[in-house]
Chain A
C-alpha cells in the first residue's frame, strides 16, 4: 500500500499536480511543519501550532492539492538544521509570499533583510515598509508571519529592547536570540 502511495505521489509531482508539498522537520523546540509550492517555501508551522489547521488553511487559501512529500522539503530541512546548529546565518531559499499582502508583506520582506544576530524595533519596520506611524500594524504583520525562522520576525523587538511577542511563545524567541548571540544566556526563572 505504501509503495502504491509513493508511486502516486511521484507521478503527481511529475504531472505538476503537487500544488502544496509539506513535511515535518525536527527542531530543538519540537516538530515544525514545512510547506512549499512550486514557487518556494510558503509556510513554516511552529511546534505550538496545530498541524491539521495549518494544512486546512493552505488547502483553502492556496490549493486543496496538498500532499505530504518529504523529499521536496529536503533543502529547507537541511538549512534549518544548520541554522539551529549555529552554522548557517543566511537562508538561501526561494519564498512564496502570497499568504501576506500589502503593508504586511512589505513589513515581512523588510524583516527578511534583517541580518543574523541583529535586532530592529517595530517602529523601524513600520518605517521601512513605508508608514512610520503604523507601528501596531507592523506588530500585527510580525504576528501573522507565515514563514517564521526563515523570515526572522524573532529579530524584531519593542523600542527599548523589551521582547514583544512571538507566535512560537516567548521562550522560543528568547532562545533564538541567544543562539544568534543577541541575548546573553541566562538561567531562566
Chain B
C-alpha cells in the first residue's frame, strides 16, 4: 500500500472536480473532507490498490448522495463545471443546461456530471457509481436523452 500522502496528491484534484460537478462548489469542500476521511479510515484494510481512483470516486459519490439527502431533494444546479469539460454531442454548457442536469434523477445526474463535467471514461463512471459499465452507459444515455428533450 503506498503512503496515503501519495493517494491524496494524485487524486485530490479529480475528487474535487467530481464533487464540484455533483454538489456544487460550496458543498464540495465538505464532501471532500468526508471522502478523504472515510478513505483514510478504511485505507489500511483495503485489499489491493489496483484502482484507487475508482475507489475514491465511489466514496465521493456516496458522500455527494448523503449531501443531497441531508439537504432534502431540492434540485441542485451543478455549478461551474471545470473549464476543460468535454461536451461532445451536447449543446454549449450554459446556466439552463446545468440547471437541467441538476434536475435529473441522481444516477443520471451523476453519470452526466462525471462524463461531461469531469471527463471520466465509462469504466471509471461505473466504478464511481458502483454499477457495471453497461449500467453506467445506460444512465448516461438516459440522462442525455432527457436533457435533449428538455432543452430543445
User: Which A residues fall within an 8 A CB radius of B?
Assistant: 1, 4-5, 7-8, 11-12, 15, 17, 20, 22, 55-56, 58-60, 63-68
Contacts and interface: CB of A to CB of B under 8 A. Distances in A.
Contact of A59 (B1, B8, B37): B1
**Which of the listed residues B3, B12, B32 has the most CB atoms from chain A within 10 Å of its own CB?**
B3
A55 B40 CA distance: 16
Between B12, B32, B33, B40, the greatest number of chain A beta carbons within 10 A of the residue's beta carbon is seen for B40
B12 A4 contact: yes
Interface residues of B, number: 19
Given A64-B44, A66-B3, A1 B16 contact: yes
Given A12-B37, A64-B44, A58 B32 contact: no
Given A5-B12, A66-B4, 4 more contacts: A58-B3, A59-B4, A64-B4, A67-B3
Interface in B8-34: 8, 12-13, 16, 29, 32-33
Given A8-B37, A12-B40, A59 B12 contact: no
A56 B3 CA distance: 6
Nearest to A59: B3
A8 B37 CA distance: 7
Contact of A17 (B1, B5, B40): B40
A56 B2 contact: yes
* 4 closest A-B pairs by CB: A66-B3, A64-B1, A59-B3, A55-B3
Given A8-B32, A8-B36, A17-B37, A68 B5 contact: yes
Nearest to B1: A64
B43 interface: yes
A152 B3 CA distance: 28
Contacts of A58: 3
B69 interface: no
26 contacts: A1-B12, A1-B16, A4-B32, A5-B12, A7-B29, A7-B33, A8-B8, A8-B33, A8-B37, A15-B37, A17-B41, A22-B5, A55-B3, A56-B2, A59-B1, A59-B2, A59-B4, A64-B1, A64-B4, A64-B43, A64-B44, A65-B43, A66-B3, A67-B8, A67-B40, A68-B5
Contacts of A12: 36-37, 40
Nearest to A64: B1
